[in-house]
């Protein structure tokens, strides 16, 4: 399953988009049955219409541009707006929300001919590392349906791993693309902050959130990123490459096969401490060996503030979330359960019923950290440590081109195993959180499975706006340990 | 965070809890805050706070001129309101009376 090869067949008329879609629709339905990977309904009819329209254009010829994702079945996380569909964000409070417009990143894949087959299930408001906090029930891992697929882009990882779509979009605030990608055994990538427009993405933590791709291979992931990246005046944090960036910043696909000869990689010694599964550690060491064989140098580096990353994150992200989620008040949109005696009681009842426990916990943490008397000790303190962390990374990137690490400390755990202990759940994001705090791009590449047959992911991190390097490195190690 | 503090923050956050949440939150939130408290060990006296990752590059973005644009699809937005004003005056969100 390669997007580029399949699009060639569709462009040449060897295969129609409708034929391709009809081949995949039964697999999509079966996947949903098994994995609960979509928020119902599936968008099968919309997809058929889109495929037919595309086929007519191809048949008519006339030199009209046929997109780089022509006819490719793709899924999007249900926190991205697609006009004419509900966008639930995995929450009761938004279960009847109709998207009034389409997110920029989603529009960009549609403009290139992608056929959107469904909106994927996710942790409520993208808050979770396991796919278990969704109002629509937990998502299951295709490698073992008794285990979690990771989160919060749980469905977006599961549907690609189940091979019933070619790619998907997710969002990553503290690892929400890379962690499920690792646990499901697919490629998942978080771009540099500001590289992909967040217009039409439901806001969780605005200084951390980024949309990024899931795919079965590095080249396809690079293609999706190339399509969705770029300046968007509708997002005030969108990065304008015309003014500031290297002209090759957005030229992602062309460098995929450049190889790593002469590049330097650093493994942070703090990432190898207790809590890292020995099987993942030895896979990391083997990966380092592959890079060396390909002409790269691998050395030890130090990120001394690593142990504070989770603490900083669980102030910054909840603080931003508590502000962003204040808009769910039962007035402008979403659920209103309003039989209260006054407006205040309507707010309380609506939010009580509308939000699940994890969302409430984080709003509580954030409100507390921002409240009078605690702001300096928590929020301001975290913002200062965040700046120190940035300096840590700048120091490492003065020594090496990329950081090499595990994506997760363990492989997929059992459904229900960590739901009672939020802190333990939070600590499973230890390797992915820092790149969101400092804004740098990172990718998770599948590196085979452990002795239980569960996928292992290897992570690369690169300096700000050096997203293309990640694909070059990923390409060198992918396929070394084919799943099954 | 004890039960009393939980109640106080909940009002600030406009939240109410199920009985199960009420029982679990004080301990769970305290555990998380205790973990976060390790940050106090770090000396950050002279360090500037960092609000977003792109630093000065983002400040440059902010220099762009603000333009007032009319959103074209106001009606569609109002359709999502739980209680919009009547169709002959479709301009408002309705809520319970706040001023007597």
pLDDT at position B41, please?
92
pTM value?
Answer: 0.96
* Residues of chain B contacting A381 with CB distance shorter than 8 Å: 39-40, 44
pLDDT at position B16, please?
95
- With CA atoms as reference, the chain B residue closest to A333 would be B81
Q: Do B39 and A244 touch (CB under 8 A)?
A: no
Q: Do B80 and A326 touch (CB under 8 A)?
A: no
- Shortest Cα distance from A308 to chain B (angstroms)? 7
Nearest by CB to B36, from A311, A329, A360: name it: A311
Q: Do B44 and A381 touch (CB under 8 A)?
A: yes
- Shortest Cα distance from A19 to chain B (angstroms)? 35
pLDDT at position A484, please?
42
Query: What whole-number distance in Å separates Cα of residue A266 and Cα of residue A403?
Result: 5
pLDDT at position B95, please?
87
- Shortest Cα distance from B88 to chain A (angstroms)? 19
pLDDT tens over chain B, length 100 residues: 889 999 999 999 999 999 999 999 999 999 999 999 999 999 998 999 988 888 776 666 555 667 788 888 888 888 899 988 887 777 788 888 887 7
Interface probe for B, chosen from A342, A349, A368 (most Cβ of B below 10 Å), is: A368
Nearest by CB to A331, from B55, B95, B97: name it: B95
Percent of chain A with pLDDT over 70: 98
Q: Do A333 and B10 touch (CB under 8 A)?
A: no
* Residues of chain A contacting B17 with CB distance shorter than 8 Å: 352, 360
Q: Do B80 and A332 touch (CB under 8 A)?
A: yes
* pLDDT mean across residues, chain A: 95
Nearest by CB to B96, from A343, A381, A387: name it: A343
- 3-state SS of A319-377? HHHHHHHHHCCCCCCCCCCCCCCCHHHHHHHHHHHHCCHHHHHHHHHHHHHHCCCCCHH
pLDDT at position A297, please?
98
Q: Do B58 and A194 touch (CB under 8 A)?
A: yes
- 3-state SS of chain B? CCHHHHHHHHHHCCCCCCHHHHHHHHHHHHHHHHHHHHHHHCCCCCCCCCCCCCCHHHHHHHCCCCCCCCCCCHHHHHHCCCCECCCCCCCCECCCCCCC
pLDDT at position B33, please?
95
pLDDT digits (tens, 9 = 90+) for A148-171: 999 999 999 999 999 999 999 999
pLDDT at position A247, please?
76
The ipTM estimated for the assembled molecules is 0.93
Q: Give me the residues of chain A with pLDDT under 50, please.
A: 484
- Shortest Cα distance from B87 to chain A (angstroms)? 16
Interface probe for A, chosen from B39, B48, B93 (most Cβ of A below 10 Å), is: B39
- With CA atoms as reference, the chain B residue closest to A422 would be B28
Q: Do B82 and A310 touch (CB under 8 A)?
A: no
Q: Do B57 and A98 touch (CB under 8 A)?
A: no
- Shortest Cα distance from A135 to chain B (angstroms)? 15
* Residues of chain A contacting B82 with CB distance shorter than 8 Å: 330-331, 333-336, 338
- Shortest Cα distance from A252 to chain B (angstroms)? 20
* Residues of chain A contacting B26 with CB distance shorter than 8 Å: none
Q: Do A367 and B9 touch (CB under 8 A)?
A: yes
Query: What whole-number distance in Å separates Cα of residue A191 and Cα of residue A225?
Result: 8
Query: What whole-number distance in Å separates Cα of residue A75 and Cα of residue A84?
Result: 15
Q: CB-based contacts of A416: which residues, under 8 Å, 6+ apart?
A: A132
Helix axes A309-324, B19-36, angle to 10 degrees: 130
pLDDT at position B58, please?
67
- Is the backbone of residue A81 left (phi > 0), alpha (psi -120 to 50) or beta? beta
pLDDT digits (tens, 9 = 90+) for A93-140: 999 999 999 999 999 999 999 999 999 999 999 999 999 999 999 999
Catalytic residues of A: 77, 152, 176
pLDDT at position B61, please?
59
- Side by side, the strands of the sheet bearing A187-190 are A115-120, A73-77, A167-172, A210-215, A187-190, A442-449, A455-461, A402-406, A264-268, A297-301
* Residues of chain B contacting A437 with CB distance shorter than 8 Å: 53
């Amino acid at each position: 399953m390669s997007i580029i090869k399949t699009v060639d067949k569709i462009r040449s008329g060897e295969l129609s988009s409708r034929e391709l879609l009809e081949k995949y629709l039964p697999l999509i339905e079966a996947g949903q049955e098994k994995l609960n990977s979509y928020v119902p309904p599936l968008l099968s009819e919309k997809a058929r219409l889109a495929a037919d329209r595309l086929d007519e254009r191809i048949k008519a010829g006339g030199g009209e541009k046929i997109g780089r994702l022509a006819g490719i079945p793709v899924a999007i996380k249900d926190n991205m707006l697609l006009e004419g569909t509900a966008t639930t964000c995995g929450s009761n409070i938004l279960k009847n929300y109709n998207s009034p417009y389409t997110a920029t990143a989603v529009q960009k894949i549609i403009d290139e001919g992608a056929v959107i087959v469904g909106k994927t299930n996710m942790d409520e408001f993208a808050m979770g590392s396991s796919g278990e906090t969704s109002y629509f029930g937990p998502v299951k891992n295709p490698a073992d349906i008794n285990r979690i697929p990771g989160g919060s882009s749980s469905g977006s990882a599961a549907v690609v791993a189940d091979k019933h779509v070619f790619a998907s979009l997710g969002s990553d605030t503290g690892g929400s693309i890379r962690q499920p990608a690792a646990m499901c055994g697919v490629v998942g990538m978080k771009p540099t902050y500001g590289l992909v427009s967040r217009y039409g993405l439901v806001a969780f933590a605005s200084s951390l959130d980024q949309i990024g791709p899931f795919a079965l291979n590095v080249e396809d992931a690079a293609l999706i990123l190339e399509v969705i990246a770029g300046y968007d005046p509708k997002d005030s944090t969108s990065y304008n490459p015309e003014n500031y960036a290297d002209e090759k910043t957005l030229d992602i696909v062309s460098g995929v096969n450049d190889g790593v000869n002469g590049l330097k990689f650093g493994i942070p010694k703090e990432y190898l401490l207790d809590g890292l599964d020995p099987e993942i550690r030895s896979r990391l060491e083997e990966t380092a060996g592959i890079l060396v064989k390909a002409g790269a140098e691998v050395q030890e580096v130090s990120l001394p503030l690593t142990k504070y990353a989770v603490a900083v994150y669980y102030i910054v992200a909840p603080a931003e979330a508590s502000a962003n989620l204040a808009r769910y008040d039962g007035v402008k949109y979403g659920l209103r359960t309003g039989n209260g005696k006054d407006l205040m009681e309507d707010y309380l009842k609506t939010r009580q019923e509308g939000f699940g426990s994890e969302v409430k916990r984080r709003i509580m943490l954030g409100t507390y950290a921002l409240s009078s008397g605690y702001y300096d000790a928590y929020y301001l303190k975290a913002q200062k440590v965040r700046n120190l962390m940035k300096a840590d990374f700048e120091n490492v990137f003065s020594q090496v081109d990329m950081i090499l690490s595990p994506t997760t400390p363990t492989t997929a755990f059992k459904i229900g195993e960590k739901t009672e202990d939020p802190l333990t759940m939070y600590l499973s994001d230890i390797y992915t959180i820092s790149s969101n705090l400092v804004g740098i791009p990172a990718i998770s590449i599948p590196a085979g499975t452990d002795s239980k047959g569960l996928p292992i992911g290897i992570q690369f991190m690169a300096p700000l706006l050096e997203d293309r390097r990640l694909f070059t490195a990923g390409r060198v190690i992918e396929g070394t340990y084919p799943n099954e | 965070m004890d039960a009393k503090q939980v109640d106080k923050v909940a009002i600030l956050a406009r939240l109410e809890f199920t009985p199960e949440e009420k029982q679990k939150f004080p301990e769970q939130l305290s555990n998380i805050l205790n973990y976060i408290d390790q940050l106090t060990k770090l000396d950050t006296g002279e360090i500037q706070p960092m609000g977003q990752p792109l630093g000065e590059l983002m400040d440059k973005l902010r220099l762009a001129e603000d333009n007032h644009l009319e959103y074209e699809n106001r009606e569609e937005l109002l359709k999502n309101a739980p209680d919009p004003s009547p169709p002959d005056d479709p301009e408002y969100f309705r809520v319970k009376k706040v001023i007597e």
